[in-house]
Amino acid sequence: MTGRASYFSGEGITLRFGGVTALRDVAFSVSEGTVHAMIGPNGAGKTSLFNVITGLYAPDSGTVRFAGASLSGLPPHAVAQAGIVRTFQNLEIFTNMTVLENVLTGAHLSAKYGPFDFFLRTPRYFREERRLREEALAELSFVGLEGDASLPAAQLPFGSQRMLEIARALAAHPRLLLLDEPAAGLNIRETSALGELIRKIVARGVTVVMVEHDMALVMDISDRVTVLNYGEVLADGTPAEVQRNPAVVAAYLGEED
Amino acid sequence: MSSIRETSSAPGLALFAAAIVAAPFLLPDYYQSVLIVAGLFAILSMGLNLLMGYAGQISLGHAAFYGLSAYASGILTTTFHWPVPAGIAAGVVLSGVTAALIGIPTLKLKGHYLAMGTLGFGVIVYIVFNEAVALTAGPSGLTGIPRLSAFGKIFSTDREYYFVVWGTVFLLFVLARNLVRSRMGRALRAIHTSESAASVLGIDVARYKAFVFVLSAVYAGIAGALYAHFVTFISPGSFSFHASTQVVTMVVLGGMASLWGAVAGAVFLTVLPEWLRAIEDYDILVYGAILVLTMRFLPGGLAEGVERVLSALASIFRGKAKASGGEGKKP
Ligand SMILES: Nc1ncnc2c1ncn2[C@@H]1O[C@H](COP(=O)(O)OP(=O)(O)OP(=O)(O)O)[C@@H](O)[C@H]1O
Ligand SMILES: [Mg+2]
């Protein structure tokens, strides 16, 4: 409990797959209202960490705390209820739906009606569906997809699918948004638009944790950076500190040049 | 695909209601009993389509839920002299409760394992129908089941029963449609494509799968009880693996994730054999062939076929309207 710094944190997180240790004694701490980047070479364990946080993987040990409560043992849907929503590195778009329906599905938790209302189509059902639709359309225009609402989601170009995943996650009203390589596969223009979008998301009061390989983007928008290497935390600090850290340069930044 | 799903369904429903009312007056009397059976299968395939077409969970044992309710209501009304509506209610509850007990462990299985699990369940229930002779009268079947009577009225003619069955089809169709177009419908379709993406958006995957499994068993239970009080004689053969396959074929032929398709598939596959008496001995082969051909050439089933035809017609009409200076498509 160290004030602001304890908004979102992990401690002693270890995750093994048979012989492979994907995460070893990982700790991190994220302040409210910031952009926090998780970087590291391929296979460093970044996605595994997101999977542990969101309850998709059960760690062998360690705890994740969010807004004062432990997330240990919570199933994924309960983690979402607690206010943490994510996107996926390998897109997980609902390809059997339209773009708008994808975002409406993201609004699942904010839809305040039950079986009685939808089976019998009570006024509450219509009221809520109308509100969800307006919100979903607003999220689509927030990410720049307002013209594509009625398209089958599978027909969107790749870059737009990444934006759709963000809109879908935002529709869930997260307090903490986890983005797994949001710039992967985007061109330079799309990447700089993404940077702007992430700033706008933070301005809405959402804390963002982002796994990313695009160093220009990371250095540009992150408040803090955690570096993972072979499943362990190698360094942690501001972008400038991390860039200067010799261990990081040797393990990671160096190999990029 | 979804363009039709998003438009208002009121005209479609009105047309459906009109067709239900008109059919017995337009067709020879003989068809009434065929259409009653088709209606029962329509209820079964709508329920299975919610599970399979929307949520993407296969069940190869659905005839078990159909049979459990048929036997429960049959035994309670015949051996224990319960009023028929009470027997039907008990049968439907038995199917639903059994689905809840079976579904919770079984739905953890995926793909082929879920198929095997539900198939095994269907086989076990079929064996029970045969072996529990004291209750079910075994292979020789349960006879003397009373016809449906409620509110002091006995539905003794086929025409009366036709309206009971198709009235139920209509009601269950509307309820299923309302579910499909709700947050739960979206959750089921999300589970179909990606359980992990669904779960991290706050969808309780296990709970929704269990719910839709129970609901589809309740649909099967309603069909089963109505069947028992229509034919007044039931034997295990009607609830075998063969019957489960028939319902799966109806869903696939009609079109996965289409309620209209489920009804169309059920009617088509019930009426077709009436025309093709000769295939009776080979019907399992015909079902297999229909399954394979549909999946290969018309993966969206009859629903997609009709949709293609309709949109082709619509574009022809729109072209004509434009050519003759009429207004184009409204926004
Ligand atoms: N489900 C799994 N089963 C077995 N091993 C796994 C599984 N998931 C991840 N791993 C292993 O854990 C290690 C970390 O993988 P992870 O996907 O977390 O890396 P990453 O940092 O996200 O890499 P990338 O930058 O390539 O996305 C790798 O060695 C990977 O092979
Ligand atoms: Mg990764």
Taking only the tens place, the pLDDT of each residue in B100-110 is 999 888 888 77
Domain assignment present for residue B288? The answer is no
Q: 3-state secondary structure string, chain A? A: CCHHHHCEEEEEEEEEECCEEEEEEEEEEECCCCEEEEECCCCCCHHHHHHHHCCCCCCCEEEEEECCEECCCCCHHHHHHCCEEECCCCCCCCCCCEHHHHHHHHHHHHCCCCHHHHHHCCHHHHHHHHHHHHHHHHHHHHCCCHHHCCCEHHHCCHHHHHHHHHHHHHCCCCCEEEEECCCCCCCHHHHHHHHHHHHHHHHCCCEEEEECCCHHHHHHHCCEEEEEECCEEEEEECHHHHHHCHHHHHHHHHHHC
The alpha carbon of B310 and the centre of ligand 1 are apart by a number of angstroms equal to 48
Any idea what the CATH number is for the domain that residue B154 is in? Answer: 1.10.3470
Domain assignment present for residue B304? The answer is no
Confidence (pLDDT) at B85: 96
- Cβ of A96 within 8 Å of Cβ of B257? The answer is yes
Contacts of A58 in chain B (CB under 8 A): none
Contacts of B196 in chain A (CB under 8 A): 56, 76, 88, 92
Distance between CA atoms of residues B177 and B50, nearest Å:
10
Can you tell me which residue has the tokens 């062998």?
A: A60
Domain assignment present for residue B139? The answer is yes
pLDDT above 90 for A73: yes
Confidence (pLDDT) at A1: 43
Among the residue ranges A61-75, B87-101, B151-165, the one predicted with the least confidence is B151-165
- Residue B290: pLDDT band (50, 70, 90) is confident
The alpha carbon of A78 and the centre of ligand 1 are apart by a number of angstroms equal to 24
Atom number, ligand 1, closest to the C-alpha of residue A231 = 14
Distance between CA atoms of residues B288 and B276, nearest Å:
16
Domain assignment present for residue B2? The answer is no
Q: CB-based contact (8 Å) between A85 and chain B?
A: yes
Confidence (pLDDT) at B2: 38
Is the pTM for the entire model greater than 0.95? no
Distances from the Cα of B197 to the Cα of A49, A89, A101, A102, B118, angstroms: 16, 12, 14, 11, 26
pLDDT above 90 for A78: yes
- Cβ of A77 within 8 Å of Cβ of B186? The answer is no
Confidence (pLDDT) at B319: 65
Q: CB-based contact (8 Å) between A210 and chain B?
A: no
Confidence (pLDDT) at B64: 97
For residue B67, which phi and psi values (nearest 5 degrees)? Answer: -75, -40
Domain assignment present for residue B198? The answer is yes
Among the residue ranges A98-107, A237-246, B22-31, B293-302, the one predicted with the least confidence is B293-302
Domain assignment present for residue B314? The answer is no
Distance between CA atoms of residues B86 and B318, nearest Å:
54
> DSSP label at B60?
S
Kindly give the pairing relationship between strand A69-70 and strand A61-66.
antiparallel
Confidence (pLDDT) at B10: 82
Which residue range forms the structural domain that includes residue B104?
Answer: 10-252
Nearest to B197 by CA among A49, A85, A158, A52: A85
Domain assignment present for residue B309? The answer is no
Distance between CA atoms of residues A210 and A220, nearest Å:
13
Six-digit token string for B222: 């309603």
Six-digit token string for A181: 């390589």
* pLDDT tens-digit readout, B219-237: 999 999 999 999 999 999 9
Distance between CA atoms of residues A159 and A148, nearest Å:
13
* pLDDT tens-digit readout, B23-46: 999 988 888 999 999 999 999 999
Domain assignment present for residue B61? The answer is yes
pLDDT above 50 for A2: no
Atom number, ligand 1, closest to the C-alpha of residue A44 = 21
For residue A210, which phi and psi values (nearest 5 degrees)? Answer: -130, 130
Confidence (pLDDT) at A256: 47
> In this structure, are residues A89 and A45 in contact, taking their beta carbons and an 8 Å threshold?
no
Q: CB-based contact (8 Å) between A155 and chain B?
A: no
Of all residues in chain B, the one with the smallest CA distance to A108 is: B183
Confidence (pLDDT) at B321: 52
Number of domains in chain B: 1
Distances from the Cα of A144 to the Cα of A48, A161, A188, B206, angstroms: 30, 11, 16, 34
